[in-house]
Structure 1
Amino acid sequence: MNNQVCLSAEIKSLDDLRYTPAGLPILQMWLSHESWQTELGERYLAKMEIQAKALGDMALNWPYRQGTMIEIIGFIAQKGVRNPRPILHIQQINEYKG
């Protein structure tokens, strides 16, 4: 089964660094994406916002601010055991150069 997402997006909001109960650094944010796609031969404006998170060293050394355009690779999973809402787990990140 495949679950890999590659997305260019703007950092809409960025929470403060915090730690999980196990002591793991975590940084949560909301990403905003807008692009033109083709669906059934027609142009379609694809817009969305998704919650995302970075863990560990990536969260500790996070260099990007709100408003920065980024390219990420990661996977989607439910936010928690009792919260089925999706969240994007960031595994790789680069600033988007256009």
Structure 2
Amino acid sequence: MLNQLSLCAQIKSLDDLRYTPAGLPVLTMWLLHESWQIELEQRYLAKVEIQAKALGDLAKNWMYQPGAMVEIKGFLAQKGVYHSRPILHIQQIREYKG
């Protein structure tokens, strides 16, 4: 099944780098997106704030700061066993140059 997301967003906040019990680096953040979309032939201002995380080398070598505009590719999954809200798992990231 298809579960791929491509999003241009601003990094709102970054948590400190942490490690799982297995030693895997994890970086959690909040992203803000705002764009005009067309829905039913009408302009619609789409706004979303979503939690995201980077794992492994992507988290360890992170170089983007809050306020940066980035283009992200990844997939959505529930945050955890007891939390069904979605979180974006980042697989690729680059600076957005608009």
The TM-score with structure 2 as length reference comes to 0.99
3-state SS, counterpart of residue 59 of structure 2: helix
**Percentage of matched positions with identical amino acids:** 74
RMSD over aligned CA atoms reads: 0.4
The aligned counterpart of 2:65 is 65
Give the Cα–Cα distance (whole angstroms) in 2 for the partners of residues 49 and 73 of structure 1.
16
C-alpha distance in structure 1 between counterparts of 2:87 and 2:6, whole Å:
14
Instruction: State how many pairs are aligned.
Output: 98
* Structure 2 unpaired stretches of 5+: none
TM-score (norm. length: structure 1): 0.99
User: Where do 5+ consecutive residues of structure 1 fail to align?
Assistant: none
Runs of 4 or more, structure 1, over 6 Å off, are: none
What's 2:13 paired with?
13
- Counterpart of 2:58 in structure 1: which amino acid? M
Q: How does 1:1-98 map to 2 (within 5 A)?
A: 1-98=1-98
Shift of 1:85: 1.1
